[in-house]
A = this chain, B = another copy of it.
Amino acid sequence: MAPADLATLVTKARGGDPRAVARLITLVESGDPRLPELAGLLAPYAGDAQVIGLTGSPGVGKSTTVSALVTALRAAGRRVGVLAVDPSSPFTGGAILGDRVRMQEHATDPGVYIRSMSNRGHLGGLAAATPQAVRVLAAAGCEVILVETVGVGQAEVEVASLADTTLVLLAPGMGDAIQAVKAGILEIGDIFVINKADRDGADATYRDIQGMIGLAERAPGQWRPKVLRTVAAKGEGIDEVVAAIDRHQTWLREHGEWRRRRELRAAAEVEHIVVSGLRAEARQLGGGTRLSELAARVAAGELDPYTAAAQVRDALRGETPS
């Protein structure tokens, strides 16, 4: 697309043109050099969209649940965006989208935008791209934006830092409660959804999670995580999940958390852009502060990494000739 088209694309996306939305998200995902300009155009549309994070281990039924949630939200007349983020494969060029097939029932609904995003080879890329993709969807008029991540661990923490409400999906027999604690998900879930609740072990999983929530330290007035049961493949329990999301949103607004979470995630976003830029600068330093030369001396045991880091820092500050 021609460089001058950004403002036109944003205007078209505002008008609900799905191709304009798709092109803007591709631009964001690929780390296009015009991202700062695009960010300026999108800034006013940071918006009031509800951002819902959804995470869980492979096999718990994330795609099925997201699809069922989209159906319920559309039935209520709400415009929906879905970002399926796959941070677990930083090396390959694209996310594996086999299970995205389940989303195809929404493909022809003009009130739904569905998009997968992968890392495209640069670590930390998704952390920068996802907030901008959320802004594109908000600008396009999405009232609810579901951000689904694959995998366990660090990725969840980033979902939690992005979302207003974080849903953690579990399934019976997918690993005991200890594993949930290990993965750190107990601390990030606002709502726990035990999917495949018609299977053996669902009650035990429910009790385990309720028990751990009961044991967790919580300041007075803090949100107590909800635990719900669904059979997403049959649409069972999905309306209750939507209701719990809406109750959490009301709670966020009544407790000043709505604004606070948005400010925290804006701070994280700004910090991420600063750090990425500085990292790129550090790699381009010349002369004696060249990172590769310093690293060779550290590897040889001639220099310690903190002294090397101080030299890089001084060079970034412009205090030594490069």
User: What count of chain A residues pass the 8 Å CB interface test?
Assistant: 80
A305 touches B269 (CB 8 A): yes
- Which residues of chain B come closer than 8 Å to A264, judged between CB atoms? 295
Chain A 307-322, CB within 8 Å of chain B: the 1/0 string? 1111011001110000
Cβ of A107 under 8 Å from chain B: no
- Which residues of chain B come closer than 8 Å to A175, judged between CB atoms? 58-59
**A275-B279 contact in complex given A153-B155, A181-B92, A184-B90, C-beta closer than 8 Å:** yes
B157 touches A90 (CB 8 A): yes
| Bound CA–CA A267/B300 (angstroms) | 12
Cβ of A233 under 8 Å from chain B: no
**A123-B304 contact in complex given A187-B91, A274-B309, A292-B267, C-beta closer than 8 Å:** no
**Given B123, B151, B262, B273, which contacts A305 in the complex, CB threshold below 8 Å?**
B273
Residue numbers of A with Cβ under 8 A of B are 35-36, 39-40, 42-47, 58-59, 86-92, 96, 98, 123, 131, 150-155, 157, 175, 178-179, 181-184, 187-188, 259, 262-267, 269-271, 273-275, 277-279, 282-283, 291-292, 294-296, 298-310, 312-313, 316-318
A96 touches B45 (CB 8 A): no
| Bound CA–CA A114/B152 (angstroms) | 26
B96 touches A296 (CB 8 A): no
Closest-by-CB residue of B relative to A267 is B295
| Bound CA–CA A209/B273 (angstroms) | 38
B151 touches A46 (CB 8 A): no
A299 touches B263 (CB 8 A): yes
